[in-house]
Amino acid sequence: MINNSADTAQYVDSKTPTPPVKNYDILIIGFGKAGKTFAKTASAQGLKVGVVEMSPAMYGGTCINIACIPSKTLVKASNEGLSFDEAMNRKHNVVSALNNKNYHMLADDDNIDIIDGVARFISDKSVEVLHDDQVIATIIADRIIINTGAEPIIPDIPGLASSRFAYTSTEALDLDHLPERIVIIGGGYIALEFASMLNTFGAHVTVLEKSDAIMRREDEDIAHLAYEDLKNAGIEFHLHTNTLGVEDLDSSALVHTSEGDFEADAILVAVGRRPRTQYLGLENTHISVGSRGEVIVNERLETSVPDVYAAGDVTGGMQFTYISLDDFRVLRSQIFGDGSRTTLNRGAIPYSVFITPTLSRIGLTRKEAQSRGFNIASKSLPVSSIPRHKINNDPRGLFTVVIDRDSQEILGASLYGDKSEELINYIKMAMDNHIPYTYIRDAIFTHPTMSESFNDLMNI
């Protein structure tokens, strides 16, 4: 059931006695990838660091606790044939180990204090921390880094927020049993990953998407092929469908839509995530906030207040843990280095969607490259033509590359197939280093591997 109170119960005004004042060189709000990594770097410089985290369940950040690590653990387990219960047990063990490791990575450092509570700005450079509705400390710091991440969006659909059967992606990672019928509201990447994984475990999955297609940003041929593969696997899609309301029954729920009613044992709400800033007290500061609640930063991750920075999902950019890690590099360069590293020079950014098989992408599609006026050449290669697919026992997929005829550099690639999440990183290195596609075309790869497909893919 969607938790409407857990995150907000602590965010109330408190009438406690004057709390102690703590001073730090660096204050980090949120235990995410960028913040925790920067905390260790600052400590190594001899600085005193405070890290405020609202929930012990989030030590280490979103990725290891409620996102990529647990979800991909479940995806892997589903493809290995484990039962749902076995997979959940593995997931719990993985998350518990990483959460504990990340806690001690900071807690065992004499220069770092972990403060459990909710941080709220009371001025540009001072923050109060609440725990169990009580202000336990006021913190003043020379520099502050906001690293509070993002949270699921709950759309304003009648009956949804109060339904006993509705879950966000966070809560769905802790289901105590596999629902026989699950309805997913939303057709984005998070929705599709859950749909693919739960379908593989044996649930009947229905996806409700209000637009007329899924994966609209992807190469059209690959998006169509992935859509057909998901349908052939048993996932039921209803496109151009508006969700109108949710009605709880005794042991299930009815999801009312523009295309009829769907009965579900569980409802997954996956319509996106928004920066978690609502309770930070930013209205008490001169920190600029965007229309979606994101903290506005420049290419150096500086906010509109000097010496206050923001990093990771809270800035409203791409929500990947490797972007948060690169944000750490930007912060390190700006605060301890020569300032040369910025968000403008981090190169092409790949991503993977962990449906089965995986869809990975970097750079421009053919249509995007043509619209920008490049003189392009393009080639597609079915995975079924790659010798390794026989060993993998999975012929599904299609690889596509787009190159600039004039410079001979790669403009983009879309890889839909087994191991694409690994292969896409080779393409990034080639693009960032301006390596001509002909180098990859003529390179020697081991056999039998998926990477040797690049010889044929780049033979344009």
| 296 annotated to bind ligand | no
Q: How many angstroms separate the Cα of 180 from the Cα of each of 92, 263, 265, 320?
A: 22, 11, 6, 31
Which residue, 258, 248, 292, is CA-closest to 272? Answer: 292
| 248 annotated to bind ligand | no
> Tokens standing for 266?
């569980």
| 188 annotated to bind ligand | yes
Active-site annotation holder among 92, 389, 434, 447: 447
Which residue, 233, 255, 86, 299, is CA-closest to 160? Answer: 255
- Backbone dihedral region for residue 101 (phi beyond 0: left; psi -120 to 50: alpha; all else: beta): alpha
| 72 annotated to bind ligand | yes
- Would you mind telling me the total number of residues written for the chain in this entry? 460
> Tokens standing for 436?
């001509």
| 192 annotated to bind ligand | yes
> Tokens standing for 373?
């006026």
Q: If 0-12 CB within 10 Å is exposed, 13-18 middle and 19+ buried, where does residue 154 land?
A: middle
| 32 annotated to bind ligand | no
> Tokens standing for 441?
């075309």
| 244 annotated to bind ligand | no
Instruction: Please state, in angstroms and rounded to a whole number, the distance separating the CA atoms of residues 140 and 124.
Output: 10
| 180 annotated to bind ligand | no
| 236 annotated to bind ligand | no
Active site residue 447: yes
| 186 annotated to bind ligand | yes
| 313 annotated to bind ligand | yes
| 202 annotated to bind ligand | no
User: Residues within the annotated binding site for NAD(+)?
Assistant: 186-193, 209, 272
User: Residues within the annotated binding site?
Assistant: 72, 186-193, 209, 272, 313
Known catalytic residues? 447
User: Residues within the annotated binding site for FAD?
Assistant: 72, 313
